[in-house]
Amino acid sequence: METGSNSDSLDKAETSNGRGNKLGSMLPKIEPFVPKKDQNHNPRELRSWAKRTGFVSHLSGETGTASSTERFDSSTGFHVGKSGRDQRAGGSSPKIEIDPVLGRTRPNMGVEIEMDSGSGSGSRQGRKTVADGNGLGEKVEERKVGLNGNGVENGNGNGKGNGVASVTPLVVEEKDEEGKGGRDVEIGMYPEGEEQGHEGGNGHHPGLKVGLRDNPGLGALIYYGLQHFLSLAGSLIFIPSVMVPAMGGTDKDTASVISTMLLVSGISTILHSYFGTRLPLVQGSSFIYLAPALVIINARDYRNLTEHKFRHIMRELQGAIIVGSIFQSILGFSGLMSLLLRLINPVVVAPTVAAVGLAFFSYGFPQAGSCIEVSVPLLLLVLICTLYLRGISIFGHRLFRIYAVPLSVTITWIYAFFLTAGGAYDYKGCSPDIPSSNILVDECRKHAYTMKHCRADASNAWRTAAWVRIPYPLQWGVPIFHFRTSLIMIIVSLVASVDSQVGTYHSASLLVSSKPPTPGVVSRGIALEGFCSLLAGIWGSGTGSTTLTENTHTINITKMASRRALVFGALFLILFSVVGKVGAILASIPLSLAAAILCFMWALVVAVGLSTLQYTQTASFRNITIVGVSLFLGLSIPTYFQQYQPESILMLPSYFVPYAAASDGPVHTINEQLDFSINALLSMSMVVTLLVAFVLDNTVPGSRDERGVYIWSCAEDVATDPSLQLDYSLPGKFSSLCCRSSCLRA
């Protein structure tokens, strides 16, 4: 290897312009590669040419074969070194693009090297000190600018574009070796955003411990999978604690519904990991379906039932969920979702998702306040773990931040056991096992509410649940179909699609992949969510299945994005669902504890929803007006509909009154079922907020940058970026069976 000539040429290039302001002169002139035989490139010839021209050189004194840190890329014919990883992870080296065949520098394709002049929105930046001949240094800033489909710089907050140049052919990295004066020049060639550390390239995104296609080993997969589901425990298990008692169900029914939810969530997550968007997103019972379920449960026709109330209402919910899920599947498979993508932007998504959490403010603390000595310590503990102890690392893991919910619930539950065992809720002559309706002594009737909500042993789910119980389809009976409830779930499934498609899919893709999915992939994910909701309706979980909004928060905390790990976690979820005692333990959590942790979960949903405004110009008067008006009317209009129910105020607990407007609302037409549906829909905050925000955002003028229009990948990206295909394409033979135009492209 002609080390000396290369070193001289580099030195001349560095000093030819005084202080070396032009980094392009740092490279020697490179002769083009001409193969000796008219056939495929010989790796040895390529290696020899790379050494001779300086493409792969170790100028610090090492000569001979290429470094062991490099590997030969058979698809490109060049050695790929570690420098690519370091460059993307830290962004600390200037990048110069070189045509590998012509041997000349290429025009700048979205990569710009300039003097340090400040930071720009939506860009990734790095700084490097380039030494000059006098031993001085100057800072050079590297800025990668996103391009949209037309090659125009994308200046909005997405930080991602439909980049026309998805491959960075060559990266020249220059690094000093602890003052020795030597430099290593290494060239990397790989698709932009694809990591190198694993065989075949596993798409390890910067900042993640485990990438989307990584396989860290069986033990790590099990650990990360369980970790992901444990961090979402609040969303997965506490919805039945609210619904089943309101439906007149027993503790045993609550345990059965929890087991059913675990089973459906596990199956749905596995299906989504293989046939949906293939992003590491947990599917489960969402809070989006909780509000309409409570509206149906508290309607006059159902709250007056006496016999088999729980089973009848569950069958009614099953029928409505099945109809709504079929509509959602049609929306995805038909491609209509791709059309809606053009009309739904962050200004619509942010207030809609926030309204999902705000809708439960009348239930949250009023229910948690039934036992303040237990619920308040739980709220304080979960806030301390998530906010004050979030930076503490134990054995390299931020346990307080990742396991804030299960850790806080466990500690507070143990505290409640001590209070119960110590006699804090023992009243003379009163038994917690006797239902309040059967209590004859007035003194005991006064304490029945406290005993039910505070005692850690108030539930008899553990005593009545079987060790093994396999949830099966139609376990509650044949679903009941009514137009009024079906129409409600159709609209709610549309809200769930909006939340998933742009709120969660887009945010999660920016965390785990180099680019967002195509509209076709989004449609595929929505269609599969509809199918999973169909399974939830058939099994009878009480709510539909959708992508949990808290997923992005979990991925950001745990830095775990492996879909393999999620599949392992889902398998454990299915295993736990058939062990009846697991559901019984979860059903035994006091209702005040469940309400307290739900206060935190609903607040987190509000925060995650509003965080999507980062993709817009938040200082824009247009945007803040639309968001403010949407949220205010989304809370105020339902309150107007909820006041037309004088009978409900006398019959229902105060925290259920807002969900009883379907039967007594102000809308009266010639069709009673239509009246029921309209009154129910307009009494739900998320529906009103979505309607107002959608109309305003699509009628009020505003630029693309101001509105923060979501940028999705396009068909050209799929053809030019192999990592995009590996991230989102269907596995194995399913990819060839599925038409590419409907499964991968817009």
**pLDDT for residue 107 is more than 50:** no
Which H/E stretch holds residue 128? strand 124-131
Q: What is the pLDDT of residue 46?
A: 67
Q: What is the 3-state secondary structure (H, E, C) of 38-78?
A: CCCCCHHHHHHHHHHHCCCEECCCCCCCCCCCCEEECCCCE
578 CB neighbour count, 10 Å cutoff: 16
In the chain, where the domains are located: 218-607+710-728
Are 278 and 727 a contacting pair, CB within 8 Å? yes
339 CB neighbour count, 10 Å cutoff: 12
**pLDDT for residue 694 is more than 80:** yes
Question: What's the mean pLDDT when you consider all of the chain?
Answer: 75
Torsion over CA of 285, 287, 288 and 294, rounded to 10 degrees?
100
Rounded-to-integer distance, Cα 727 and Cα 597, Å: 35
Task: Name the residue among 72, 592, 642 with its Cα closest to residue 359.
Answer: 642
Tell me the whole-structure pTM to 2 decimals.
0.72
Amino acid making up residue 675? D
Distance of alpha carbon 649 from the chain centroid: 39
Q: What is the pLDDT of residue 530?
A: 95
DSSP state at residue 154: -
pLDDT band at 715 (very low <50, low <70, confident <90, very high): confident
Cβ neighbors of 481 (< 8 A, separation 6 or more) are: 319, 320, 322, 323
DSSP 652-685: S-GGGGGG--TTT-S---S-HHHHHHHHHHHT-H
Rounded-to-integer distance, Cα 524 and Cα 332, Å: 6
Distance of alpha carbon 307 from the chain centroid: 41
pLDDT band at 337 (very low <50, low <70, confident <90, very high): confident
Quote the tokens at residue 294.
Answer: 């409570």
**pLDDT for residue 141 is more than 60:** no
Task: Name the residue among 670, 693, 666 with its Cα closest to residue 682.
Answer: 666
pLDDT band at 503 (very low <50, low <70, confident <90, very high): low
Q: What is the pLDDT of residue 721?
A: 80
**pLDDT for residue 619 is more than 70:** yes
Cβ neighbors of 607 (< 8 A, separation 6 or more) are: none
Task: Name the residue among 376, 281, 438 with its Cα closest to residue 596.
Answer: 376
Residue pLDDT, tens place only, 205-219:
667 888 888 888 888
Residue pLDDT, tens place only, 366-397:
989 889 999 999 999 999 999 999 888 888 77
Residue pLDDT, tens place only, 556-605:
888 888 899 999 999 999 999 999 999 999 999 988 899 999 999 999 99
**In the chain, % of residues over pLDDT 70:** 68
Q: What is the pLDDT of residue 598?
A: 92
pLDDT band at 444 (very low <50, low <70, confident <90, very high): confident
Are 514 and 330 a contacting pair, CB within 8 Å? no
Phi and psi dihedrals of 133, rounded to 5?
Answer: -65, -20
Q: What is the pLDDT of residue 743?
A: 46
Are 626 and 696 a contacting pair, CB within 8 Å? yes
Mean pLDDT of 256-285: 93
Q: What is the pLDDT of residue 42?
A: 64
65 Ramachandran zone, left/alpha/beta (phi>0; psi -120 to 50): beta
DSSP 620-663: -HHHHHHHHHHHHHHHHHHHHHHTS-HHHHHHS-GGGGGG--TT
Burial of 443: CB neighbours in 10 Å, binned 0-12, 13-18, 19+:
exposed
